[in-house]
Amino acid sequence: MMLLRNRLKRMIADSSDKVLSIPHISEDGAEALADYLVAEDMVAVVRCKNCKRWTPDGGHGLDLDGSKQLYGKCVLTNMAIKENNFCSFGAERTGK
């Protein structure tokens, strides 16, 4: 989470950042805000396409933004799930 915290700190401190609509903030203020936004108990998300419980079934569909999404089956839920979804039970696949 240190990487996320450092990226947030740089983004917040950069007054030329057009993504955030906040006035320029000092480096100390950016650090305090980054600490507030990044919780210590955060964990990385495992996307279905990287989960050991998901297998692609060859089906495709369009996502809301029009991008093509691969569908697969989750053995835990027995449901067809898009590759970019995630859940709290995600377990990283090891190897290929």
Looking at the fold, whether 65 and 86 belong to one and the same domain comes out as yes
25 in the same domain as 69: no
9 & 49 share domain: no
Q: Report which residue type is found at 19.
A: V
* Res. 52: pLDDT tops 90: yes
Q: Which residues 6+ apart lie within 8 Å of 27 measured at CB? A: 9, 13
* pLDDT for the residue 29: 74
Residue 33 and residue 62 share a domain: no
Burial 34-44 (b: 16+ CB within 10 A, else e): beeebeeeeee
| pLDDT above 70 coverage of the chain, percent | 75
Q: Give the predicted TM-score (pTM) of the model.
A: 0.56
The confidence band for 16, taking pLDDT boundaries of 50, 70 and 90, is very low
Judge if 54 and 80 occupy the same domain.
yes
Residue 53 has pLDDT above 90, yes or no: yes
**Domain limits for position 66:** 45-96
Phi, psi of 6 (to 5 degrees): -65, -40
At 56-83, the pLDDT tens digits run 988 888 888 888 899 999 999 999 999 9
What is the total count of domains within the chain?
2
Same domain, 63 and 93: yes
Residues 8 and 54 both lie in one domain: no
